[in-house]
A and B are shown apart, each in its own frame.
Chain A
Amino acid sequence: MQTHPAKRVTIIIEAPMERRLRQTLEEADVTGYTILPVLGGSGRSGSWSREGQLGKAGGMVEVICVVRPERLEGLLKHLFTMVERHIGVVTVSDCEVLRAERF
């Protein structure tokens, strides 16, 4: 089966920033992405858990998107301006996709 190289960008960010992150992705012409709830974790800002959250403030979400390699730089520039001041992690990894025209 023919596969095509792509970049998988994963952003773990504070739940209150979700709407803004979606806006940023759309501004960067990334129309395909997936948002996942996160159970909990620990980092520089201490530990947190989804359990018993009264509001969005303490929660995190994970956003995954896959783009063509040539679009990665533009997307990261957009993302950086938004996530710079916030708690979270942005990772980029190589992946393969079956239908390149979709990305």
Chain B
Amino acid sequence: MDFLDLALSNLGSPLILAFVLGVSAALARSDLSIPEAAAKFLSIYLLFAIGFKGGVSVSQHGVDGALGASLVAGIILSATLPLAAFALLIFMTKLDRTNAAAVAGHYGSISIVTFVAGTSVLESLGLESEGYMVAVAAAMEAPAILSALWLVGSGTEKGARLDSTLWRETLLNGSIVLLVGSFLIGMITGTEGLKEIEAFIVSPFKGVLCLFLLDMGLIAGRGLRESRGVISLRLLLFGLVMPLIGSTAGLAFGLLLDLSIGGVFLFMVLSASASYIAVPAAMRVAVPEADPAIYLTLSLGITFPFNLTLGLPLYLAVASALTGG
């Protein structure tokens, strides 16, 4: 698959155009907005649908050792990518240790919307992927937070607050519970279960994703508009380089695990993406000294749009070339 063809077809898709509309509207200071409750519903729908479909796929193909190995690989990636991000931030930017650790945590964890957009690209090209990648996504949410807190704690006097409440909030955050829960429901009910709710979770999926990406565009655009002076050129570069490093690590693990083109691609997408839900909430509690404007703008305003527009076709072209697809 040629990167240019993939990139052009990706950039012209309704998903990306909806995102671009959101960013443009926010930058132009339009009053367009998606109400908080509606955005919440869209995200619940997407998480349930993607988890359920992943579970059904596993029920069709059966559970094998690759699932366990992929989960372990995901956890290792999530825990170690923040170390690479931290080193890069200290080397590349003038960010202090606390902010660098907080930003680094975001880059080990994942963006589920980027993952969902990735599965949507695969679907539109008729490519399959391992259904359990949804479980890998859920497993990659939390380890990065622990790495970030360790990085903060190892270098400052105050350290980070890691109490039992934060543990519970991190491991049982709504996205993880819904993703894993719907994955299990899909696994248990299988194809029969899918038939019953197909009309609700399969056909409207892309339309809902469009609306969600419109909202993401609005948030990203608003963040960019308000973050003038916060993100230096070096930080901007970091936001573009780190996904490439992450995706390379994901590529290595995907090839090592002998996954399909789709599986390798999704491993790259997960490793390249940065969190903007679970990690920011944990950082607000545990590392309040870190500036949210830096980590939210980097993950949502720079890395997310990069992955969505150029990253996805690039990762697919590389995965395809190296797996012989």
Contact = CB atoms under 8 A, between A and B. Distances in A.
Q: Contact size class for A?
A: 20 to 34
Contacts of B291: 45
B31 to A, nearest CB: 10
A58 B34 CA distance: 16
B214 to A, nearest CB: 10
B36 A52 contact: yes
B219 A54 contact: yes
B281 A54 contact: no
B248 to A, nearest CB: 27
B165 A20 contact: yes
B39 A56 contact: no
Nearest to A55: B277
Nearest to B278: A55
Contacts of B296: 57-58
Interface string A46-74: 11011111111110000000000000000
Given A19-B165, A20-B165, A85-B288, A54 B277 contact: yes
Contact of B43 (A23, A54, A56, A85): A54
Contacts of A85: 158, 288-289
Contacts of B276: 54-55, 57
A52 B226 contact: no
Given A14-B284, A53-B36, 10 more contacts: A20-B165, A46-B226, A52-B219, A54-B277, A55-B276, A55-B278, A57-B296, A85-B158, A85-B289, A87-B288
